[in-house]
Each structure stands twice: as structure tokens, then as C-alpha cells.
């Protein structure tokens, strides 16, 4: 009897397995069918949103990527609304929609993005995808001189020091939406500094003996576990000035003077390729980086925004567009007596010539007069022009007082009018720099008196004070070409 039942007993587990498998497959099919029906009735839904809050406020052409739960038919720019309004373009592919903004957005602000009439291929139902993004808050890096280098003032910045900081200069990070500041790095005799990706480039030294260090950062401050990299400079002793960093962090450069004889010799432009040996390389007179070459003489220079090209005004007032990577030939763009800065996306520079101020198109060399409405040039002193956007700039102007000192003021200028920005400048101080934030929303106004340095952060439209720091400079000024405010 037991022998006769064995095949039946063996079949029963297999039959149960088959029934369970069929039941499971049936459930999956039904669930899929129900989901398809629901999807056809409801339309696509938003699954994920990705963006860089810091990039949105500091660089143009930044994207917000919306990912749906299924493939989408093509989405056009007319289907997308951004509130508050911001110029943008739209591309879509598969189940993603990319909203690319023409310029940097405002700091610490919410933007709603709505996409109307979204449809999956072959499906009748449409839906609206809607999301809210929040841009990053602004912060600045400021150089706070050691107490021994200033006569001291009551702290308006609330900077927090570190043990053992006496006698050392400090680079501090200050956020405008919070009080106080954090020490990022400290050292003796810091003269210049610049952000370089997740690092800082720091120039220090006195008496014509400079050092250049690359400091790794972690959590926004010096990484204690990473050694500071000390660059080998072209000669045993030399002076480093006019430090600038490419936006992508792939290179930086500076003016260098050999001081080994006690006098400045071979003063010129050197660049450091961060993807290579980290050794400074001279930009030769022909505009090409070349190891061991006699460097090009430089009166002013700066990186063209968002590129590895540099615009150089030479010692003889020639303008040369240099590719610091050496991949393309230099382009000569005539001459200029002063290099003010760049406009918008960086394809245009503002330069001074013997006959006036012009906008120079770096792609074809075309020059057009800069807008100068009534009141924009009615002053004895005309300082640097700093562009806020494609149509608006600020300029420091001034009149000579009876005692021979200069009474300075800041003008905000567009195509049709010039108006005074209500920024208070102490009578005993002079403006040393006016530097726009990367998105043009704020201005850093650096002033210097006999006893103190002060940087005031003001709204670029109203002049309203946002913050003040007992500091000599902020990193926003590193985007402007080297050179003082006097044109």
C-alpha cells in the first residue's frame, strides 16, 4: 500500500507549488494591469527632483532635473512656468525634464516649477508636475588681519577665533543669514586667498618673500588630517600678487616677481595646472604657457568667467586672450588702458580705451560704447565699473573736497539713468573695492581708514546694509581683474 501512494505523495507538493506560482503570476498581472489603468487615468507623476542649491546662485546654466515615474512625451518651454519668474530653457528626454536657468538665481529663495499637460506616450490622461526648490544662502570668505596689523576696532562681524590665533591673520566664512563667522584658516601675513574647489589657495609673506599654499577643506574649514601643500615657486625668493582661480578649479595663476637680487625681475604671469604637476609655468610673451620661458609682462589680468582662458592687459597695454591650458592659440584683441571686468556670461569684457569705455566682445573683437546716461560721468574721479547683469553696472565716483580729500559715492547705472546708491561711506575712510556677488544681488563695499578695515555687504538695488565684517577683503573681489579702483 505504501508503495502505491508514493507517486501521489510526490505529486502533491509539486501541484501545490504550481498552483501558488500561477496564483502569484496572476496577482502580478492583475496589479500591473490595475497600475496601467490608474496610470492611464491619472497621468505621469513626479518621482524625483535633483539640483545644486549653491550652483543655482553662483553660476548660470544651472539645471533642475525633474524625473517622472514613466516615459514622457516631449515637453516644451511653454509648458513650464517658474514662479517667481526666471529666464529658463527646457529640454526633455525619456522620463526626465531639465529646466536650465539663464543666470544665477536669488539667494535663499523658494522657486516653484510647474509643468502643465504632461503625458505618457500613447496615453490619453495628462497631469501637472509641480515642485518647489530652495536656493542656497550666501556666504563670503573674508580676510581678517591679525590684531597686531591693525589698531583694532570693536567687532561688528562676531567672528569666532581659535586658540593660538593671536598674531595670525584669519580667513573666515560669514553667512549673511546667520550671525557670527567661522575661522576657515589662519596663518601669519596672509596677503591673498581664493577658493579652489574644496581647497583654498593662500598667499602669504612679507618683504618680497611670498609663499603659496594649497589648503584642503573639510566641512568648510581646514582639514586637520590633510597636510598643507607648499608650492615650489620659480625662484628661491619672489613676490606673488594678483591671484586668480579658474571657475572650474582646474588651474590658478598669479603675477610673480623674482626678488632674489633684492630687486624685482622677470615680473610676469604664471599659471598652475591642478591636473598636472602643480608647478608654476610662465605664460610666455607669445601668450602660451611654457616652462622656463620669460613671462609675459602683466598690468592686469583675470580668468574669463566659466572658462580656462585669461584676459591679460600687458605692460604695454595690449589685450591678449590666453588659454592657460595651452590647447588653443592666444587671441590679440587690440589695446586698452584699463580692464574693468566682465559682463554676464563672460563673453564680453568692459575695457577703457583712450576715447572712452567700451564693451569688448571676446568672440569677435567687436567694440560697442558702454551706456553712459547723464550723471554717470559727472565727477572728478571715475573708478572701476562692476557689472551687475547685462544691462546694469555700479561705479565708484567722487569729488574733491576743499581739504583735498575725496568724497566718494557709488552710482547704479543702467541704459537710461544713473542714481546714487545710498551706501554710507565714513568721512575718514576711502572705498578700496566694490565687488558684486556672483548673482549680482549684493555688493561688498570695502573701505579703509587710518585705523581699520571694513567690508559692508549691501543690497545692490536698495543699498540696504545686510552685514558688516571687520575685514580687508572678501572672496567676491577675486573675480575682478587685478588693479586698483582708479581708472
* Residue 80 near residue 90 (C-beta atoms within 8 A): yes
Longest dimension (CA), the chain: 128
Q: What is the pLDDT of residue 153?
A: 39
The Cα-based distances of 59 to 33, 247, 430 in angstroms read 45, 9, 31
- For 25, residues 6+ apart whose C-beta sits below 8 A from its C-beta are none
Q: What is the pLDDT of residue 20?
A: 62
DSSP states of 195-259 as a string? EETTEEEEEEEETTEEEEEEEEEETTEE-TTSPPEEPPPSSSSEEEEEEEE-TTSSEEEEEEEE-
Give ∠ CA 143-146-152 in degrees, rounded to 5. Answer: 105
The parts of the chain modelled with pLDDT lower than 70 are 1-41, 148-166, 484-487
Q: What is the pLDDT of residue 421?
A: 95
Place of cell 591693525: 150
> Quick one: CATH architecture of 46-134?
Sandwich (2.60)
DSSP states of 98-136 as a string? EEEESSPPPTT-EEEEEEEEEE-TT---EEEEEEEEEPP
Place of cell 566659466: 306
194 vs 191: CA distance, rounded Å: 11
| Half-sphere exposure of residue 151: CA atoms within 13 angstroms, side-chain side | 5
Helix (H, G, I), strand (E, B) or coil at 479: helix
Mind spelling out the 3-state secondary structure of 220-232? CEECCCCCCEECC
* Residue 161 near residue 147 (C-beta atoms within 8 A): no
Alpha helical stretches, state H, 287-441: none
Decide: residue 54, CB within 10 A, 0-12 exposed, 13-18 middle, 19+ buried.
Answer: middle
* Residue 133 near residue 64 (C-beta atoms within 8 A): yes
User: Is the Cα dihedral 54, 176, 201, 303 positive or negative?
Assistant: positive
Beta pairing partners, 397: 382, 409
The Cα-based distances of 248 to 4, 274, 303 in angstroms read 81, 11, 11
* Residue 448 near residue 432 (C-beta atoms within 8 A): yes
What cell numbers appear for 236 in the block?
628661491
* Residue 398 near residue 378 (C-beta atoms within 8 A): no
pTM for the whole structure? 0.83
* Residue 363 near residue 415 (C-beta atoms within 8 A): no
Amino acid at each position: 500500500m505504501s508503495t502505491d501512494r508514493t507517486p501521489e505523495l510526490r505529486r502533491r507538493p509539486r501541484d501545490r507549488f504550481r498552483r501558488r506560482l500561477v496564483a502569484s503570476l496572476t496577482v502580478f498581472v492583475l496589479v500591473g494591469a490595475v497600475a496601467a489603468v490608474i496610470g492611464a487615468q491619472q497621468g505621469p507623476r513626479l518621482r524625483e527632483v535633483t539640483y545644486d542649491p549653491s550652483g543655482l546662485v553662483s553660476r548660470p546654466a544651472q539645471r533642475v532635473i525633474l524625473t517622472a515615474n514613466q516615459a514622457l512625451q516631449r515637453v516644451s518651454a511653454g509648458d513650464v512656468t517658474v514662479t517667481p519668474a526666471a529666464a529658463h530653457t527646457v529640454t526633455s528626454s525619456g522620463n526626465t525634464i531639465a529646466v536650465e536657468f539663464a543666470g544665477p538665481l536669488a539667494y535663499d529663495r523658494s522657486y516653484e516649477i510647474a509643468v502643465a499637460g504632461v503625458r505618457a506616450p500613447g496615453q490619453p490622461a495628462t497631469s501637472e508636475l509641480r515642485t518647489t526648490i530652495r536656493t542656497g544662502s550666501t556666504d563670503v570668505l573674508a580676510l581678517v588681519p591679525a590684531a597686531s596689523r591693525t589698531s583694532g576696532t570693536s567687532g561688528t562681524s562676531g567672528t569666532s577665533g581659535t586658540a593660538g590665533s593671536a598674531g595670525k591673520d584669519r580667513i573666515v566664512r560669514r553667512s549673511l543669514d546667520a550671525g557670527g563667522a567661522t575661522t576657515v584658516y589662519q596663518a601669519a601675513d596672509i596677503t591673498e586667498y581664493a577658493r579652489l574647489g574644496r581647497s583654498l589657495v593662500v598667499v602669504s609673506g612679507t618683504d618680497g618673500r611670498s609663499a603659496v599654499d594649497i589648503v584642503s577643506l573639510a566641512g568648510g574649514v581646514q582639514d586637520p588630517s590633510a597636510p598643507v601643500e607648499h608650492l615650489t615657486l620659480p625662484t628661491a625668493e619672489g613676490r606673488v600678487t594678483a591671484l586668480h582661480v579658474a571657475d572650474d578649479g582646474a588651474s590658478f595663476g598669479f603675477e610673480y616677481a623674482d626678488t632674489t637680487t633684492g630687486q624685482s625681475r622677470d615680473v610676469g604671469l604664471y599659471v598652475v595646472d591642478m591636473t598636472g604637476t602643480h608647478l608654476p609655468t610662465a605664460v610666455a610673451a607669445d601668450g602660451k604657457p611654457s616652462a622656463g620661458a620669460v613671462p609675459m609682462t602683466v598690468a592686469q589680468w583675470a580668468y574669463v568667467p566659466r572658462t580656462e582662458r585669461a584676459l591679460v592687459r600687458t605692460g604695454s597695454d595690449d589685450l591678449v586672450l590666453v588659454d592657460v591650458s595651452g590647447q588653443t592659440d592666444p587671441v590679440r584683441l587690440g589695446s586698452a588702458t584699463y580692464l574693468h571686468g566682465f559682463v554676464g556670461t563672460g563673453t564680453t569684457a568692459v575695457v577703457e580705451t583712450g576715447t572712452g569705455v567700451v564693451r569688448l566682445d571676446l568672440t569677435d573683437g567687436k567694440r560697442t560704447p558702454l551706456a553712459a546716461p547723464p550723471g554717470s560721468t559727472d565727477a572728478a574721479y571715475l573708478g572701476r565699473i562692476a557689472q551687475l547683469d547685462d544691462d546694469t553696472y555700479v561705479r565708484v565716483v567722487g569729488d574733491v573736497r576743499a581739504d583735498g580729500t575725496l568724497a566718494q559715492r557709488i552710482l547704479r547705472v543702467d541704459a537710461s539713468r544713473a542714481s546714487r546708491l545710498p551706501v554710507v561711506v565714513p568721512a575718514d575712510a576711502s572705498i578700496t573695492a566694490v565687488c558684486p556677488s556672483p548673482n549680482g544681488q549684493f555688493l561688498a563695499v570695502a573701505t579703509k581708514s587710518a585705523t581699520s578695515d571694513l567690508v559692508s555687504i549691501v543690497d545692490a538695488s536698495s543699498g540696504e546694509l545686510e552685514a558688516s565684517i571687520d575685514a580687508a577683503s572678501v572672496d567676491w573681489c577675486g573675480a575682478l581683474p587685478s588693479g586698483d579702483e582708479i581708472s
